Amino acid sequence: MKTYMAKKESIERKRYLIDATDQILGKLAVAVAKLLMGKNKPAYTPHVDCGDFVVVVNAGKVRVTGNKARTKTYEKYSGYPGGRRVRSFEHMINKNPAFVIREAVRRMLPKNKLARKMLKKLKISRGPDHKHQVQRPQEISISDVK
């Protein structure tokens, strides 16, 4: 028996559309990360980017459970004294909902150069309209991603 290793030339990429309306942030991020990595395909190979393109719409309508809307924070640090900035989930979801979803997905991908390539295949739209209708993405529910 030989182990099959996918090659980047032999990979067929699909395009998926996911509606984030009333979806829980963590479950949405898990499904999107699986699609970006290609873990739903039988030819999954860890060192090859064999994932698909994902378009997420209605990013502003994603939700979190419990008290996370008030207590979850996003931090960044400029490197200077006093340069630490802390923003709450409520603030970030109103200001830039694409950042919230992209950050949740980024943290679920491997920490290497390949993950940065995978993240470029994620397109997030604040409302129901998106720029990728020409590619005709297949609409999928997060419960369908295995």
- pLDDT at residue 52 tops 90: yes
Tokens of 77: 């640090």
Percent above pLDDT 90 for the chain: 92
Local confidence band at 8 (pLDDT 50, 70, 90 cut-offs): confident
Sequence letter at residue 20 = A
Does position 4 have pLDDT exceeding 90, yes or no? no
Q: What percent of the chain has pLDDT over 70?
A: 100
Continuous H helices in 8-140: 25-37, 68-71, 89-95, 97-106, 113-119
Backbone angles phi, psi at 101, to 5 degrees: -70, -45
Q: What is the pLDDT of residue 2?
A: 87
Average pLDDT, the chain: 95
* CA dist., res. 54 & res. 108, Å (int): 15
The separation between CA 137 and the C-alpha centre of its own chain, rounded to angstroms, equals: 16
Higher pLDDT: 2 or 121? It is: 121
Pairing of strands 84-88, 122-124: unpaired
